[in-house]
Amino acid sequence: MELKDLIAQYPVVADLAAERETMWVNPEYGDVAELPLTKEDLFDAEARYHRFGPYMAVAFPETAATDGILESPLYRIRAMQEHVTQREGYDLPGDLYLKADNELPISGSIKSRGGIYEVLKIAETVAIDHGMLAYADNYAKLNEPEFRELFSHYGIAVGSTGNLGLSIGIVAAQLGFNTTVHMSHDAKQWKKDKLRSKGVNVVEYDGSFTKAINTGRKLAAADPSVFFIDDEGSTDLFLGYGVAAIRLQKQLHDQGIPVDEDHPLFVYLPAGVGGSPGGTTFGLKTILGPNVHAIFAEPTHVPSVVLGMATGMNEDISVYDIGLDGLTEADGLAVGRPSRLAGHVLRTILQGIATFDDDRVLAYTAEMMDTQQMQLEPSATAGFAAVRMAQPYLASRYPMAHANHIVWATGGMLMPASEHERNYALGKAILERK
Ligand SMILES: *Cc1c(COP(=O)(O)O)cnc(C)c1O
């Protein structure tokens, strides 16, 4: 379809094509629909994570304190709430929290949830198929040499903008799999270096994420011993992310944060292909019900999920089709085409999507350091942009006086200091200009 016809049919596309910040409200939100995944699927994934706890605790000693379970804290961020709402000039009734996936062990990002889950599921399947593992075993035995030998006959491959490759590469290589990560041009050098130091085969591409993932998928398909973890359509990745909701329910409970009609909970998540925020949203709606509402954030230069959902064309349209360049400082979100799963699952369970200019995430990155002393990568702060953009609509629709808001901070802990200093300096310059 030509751009002018798209715009005539879907007015939000005019904003997207012009790289204007915008808020798309999903007209099908709340409609009754059968979802392709269920609550049982989430609990199956959570049970698998628990079977692997003893393995993770021995293979990754930094996870021993939590019995090999990877989880992140939920922080109240009062100073940031005060500072950012004042600077950007809007009201935010209720309390603002940060879900600190930037502190998740192994990749320091939300990708530790989905990526590691899928690797563990592959390892379990291979070991069981070879008669070397029973479900009731203590999975710590997977750390023994005979399993490394077994897994060395198999490959795991993935295409990534950085963090997914990091989470999958580190765990797959530790298990003994032949591991290949296909990295797009925007992937940071330190992520490639770190993977190579773990014995992972890193293949670099001049082109976009779409090119890296397509080439990786094709190479893997030619070799039956290679498992390709497909960021554009994997159900296992999606479920690994979704498990977060089971743990968040307890964190909310433990911190005395109610979720009901008078206390709606709003969750703001950055979206690349839509897999990590999509899986998380599916989990949240399934576990916490109708009073939790998710809003995504995407760069104005790469609004892939909103373009797919607003037009109903999902993975059949990319940001390049409407003339955008797909370039952003938020490198984890530099994905021009949405996943084959996200838009379909999210059609009735996602409240909306906001787009933001890159300057904002750099400013939030500096502001989070100044107000909360927290190190985030720029992508990981995108939720703050959605908070601001969504408030007028949310206030027109929900009782906000006792609302709670969670910005999902998706990455940053492993970033080298030099990288953070660069982002911080860019952010400070933007703050001082205004
Ligand atoms: C991957 C990533 C996202 C977005 O996840 P998608 O599954 O691509 O939508 C957001 N933030 C960070 C830091 C990421 O690495």
Q: DSSP of 350-396, one letter per residue?
A: --EEEEE-HHHHHHHHHHHHHHH-----GGGGHHHHHHHHHHHHHHH
Q: Are residues 276 and 148 in the same domain?
A: no
Q: Where are the beta strands (DSSP E) in 245-343?
A: 265-270, 292-299
Residue 172: CATH number of its domain = 3.40.50.1100
Same domain assignment for residues 114 and 81: no
Does residue 309 sit within a domain?
yes
- For residues 338 and 381, membership in a common domain is answered with yes
pLDDT score for 32: 93
For ligand 1, whether the C-beta of 343 sits within 6 Å is no
The model's pLDDT over 204-255, given as tens digits with 9 standing for 90+, comes to 988 888 888 999 999 999 999 999 999 999 999 999 999 999 999 999 999 9
Q: Quick one: 228 and 246 in the same domain?
A: no
Same domain (yes/no): 223, 336: no
Residue 98 lies in a domain: yes
Domain boundary among 232, 253, 274: 232
202 shares a domain with 176: yes
Same domain as 103, residue 179: no
Asked whether the predicted pLDDT for residue 16 surpasses 80, the reply is yes
The least confident of 212-216, 262-266, 270-274, 315-319 is 212-216
Q: Whose CA is nearest to atom 10 of ligand 1?
A: 270
Is position 54 within any domain? no
Centre of ligand 1 to C-alpha 100, Å, is 14
Token pair recorded at residue 144: 């023994």
Question: From the CB of 109, is ligand 1 less than 6 Å away?
Answer: yes
Structural domain includes residue 338: yes
Same domain, 93 and 200: no
By DSSP bridging, strand 352-356 and strand 23-25 are: antiparallel
Could you tell me if 211 and 298 lie in one domain?
no
Whole-number Å distance, alpha carbon 132 to ligand 1 midpoint, is 35
C-alpha 4 to ligand 1 mean position (Å): 31
- Test site for ligand 1: of 104, 110, 184, most ligand atoms within 8 A of the Cβ: 110
Last residue of a domain, one of 232, 260, 293: 232
Strands (E) located in 125-175: 155-160
Q: What is the extent of the structural domain holding 343? A: 3-37+65-107+238-433
Does the pLDDT of residue 434 top 90, yes or no? no
What is the tally of structural domains in the chain?
2
* Domain assignment of residue 414, yes or no: yes
Residues 101, 117: one domain?
no
- Rounded to the nearest 10 degrees, the angle between the axes of helix 78-88 and helix 382-397 is 80
The CA 284 to ligand 1 mean position distance, Å, reads 17
* Probe target for ligand 1 pocket from 280, 307, 379, 419, with the most ligand atoms within 8 Å of CB: 379
> Do both 226 and 242 map to the same domain?
no
Q: How confident is the model at residue 161 (pLDDT cuts 50, 70, 90)?
A: confident
* 44 in a structural domain: no
Strands (E) in 104-200, as ranges, are 155-160, 178-183
CA distance linking residue 238 with residue 284, whole number of Å? 12
pLDDT digit string, tens, across residues 105-154: 999 999 999 999 999 999 999 999 999 999 999 999 999 999 999 999 99
Predicted TM-score (pTM) of the model is 0.97
Strand order in the sheet with 155-160: 201-204, 178-183, 155-160, 226-229
* Pocket flag, ligand 1, residue 380 (CB < 6 Å): yes
Domain boundary among 232, 250, 274: 232
